[in-house]
Amino acid sequence: MAKYFDVHPENPQRRTITNVAESIRSGALVAYPTDSCYALGCQLGSRDGIDRIRSIRNLDDRHHFTLVCQNFAQLGQFVQVDNDVFRTIKAATPGSYTFILPATREVPRQLLHPKKKTVGVRIPDHTVTQALLTELGEPLLSSTLLLPDEEEPLTQGWEIKERLDHVVDVVLDSGDCGTEPTTVIDFSGGELEVVRRGAGDLTRFE
């Protein structure tokens, strides 16, 4: 049965955030809010967490997991970014964007796209997510909480608790955060490619 925590969206209780971060370090799989719907998250090196996310979402090994980072300095440890791309991403973060980039050696092999050796990264603009990342001190391995055969992600904490009670360990609820996933932009091929149009504004890239 999942632990359920309800926090204020603008002033999340520090003690609760600390408890959730400690659970993640201990191997927990958490459902948590972001600036573009809820996500599933676990510790970066958790093979069990990766397997559980794949199982819940029915994902194959071509799926791009996302490293949700606290800031640009942290993001830069895990992906290779040239100067032009650096400026473009820097101007768009934090925000509702996921960027696909070549991974550095810091990224566990099981997270990489099997052929491209790429990974998704993002810096969310969400108070609760940022508080959790600050407390955790490292990126959160994540995937949008979109269940198989459903068109929209789950967006209510109580419903997530009800439906995923026996497959996640923690539900962190800060209220409705929308149903639109991030805009996904792939920079790994040398040219900007929009993989998915979502919550992020694309005009800044045009």
Give the Cβ contact number of residue 152 at 10 Å: 12
Taking only the tens place, the pLDDT of each residue in 188-205 is: 987 899 999 989 888 887
Domain that holds residue 68: 3-205
Taking only the tens place, the pLDDT of each residue in 143-183 is: 999 999 888 888 889 999 999 999 999 999 999 888 888 99
CATH number at residue 200: 3.90.870.10
Q: Give the chain's count of helices (H) and strands (E).
A: 6, 10
Tokens found for residue 102 = 């070549």
Q: How many CA atoms does the CB half-sphere of 158 hold within 13 Å?
A: 1
187 within 8 A of 98, measured Cβ to Cβ: no
Distance CA 16, CA 18 (A): 5
Sorted by sequence, the CB contacts under 8 Å of residue 191 that are 6+ apart come out as none
Burial class (CB in 10 A: 0-12, 13-18, 19+), 52: middle
Which residue do the tokens 């993640």 mark? 24
Taking only the tens place, the pLDDT of each residue in 82-116 is: 888 889 999 999 999 999 999 999 888 877 777 78
Give the count of domains, the chain: 1
Tokens found for residue 147 = 């269940």
The amino acid present at 189, given as its one-letter code, is: G
Task: Compute the C-alpha angle 167/16/75, nearest 5°.
Answer: 75
Taking only the tens place, the pLDDT of each residue in 10-54 is: 999 999 999 999 999 999 999 999 998 899 999 998 999 999 999
Q: How many CA atoms does the CB half-sphere of 79 hold within 13 Å?
A: 31
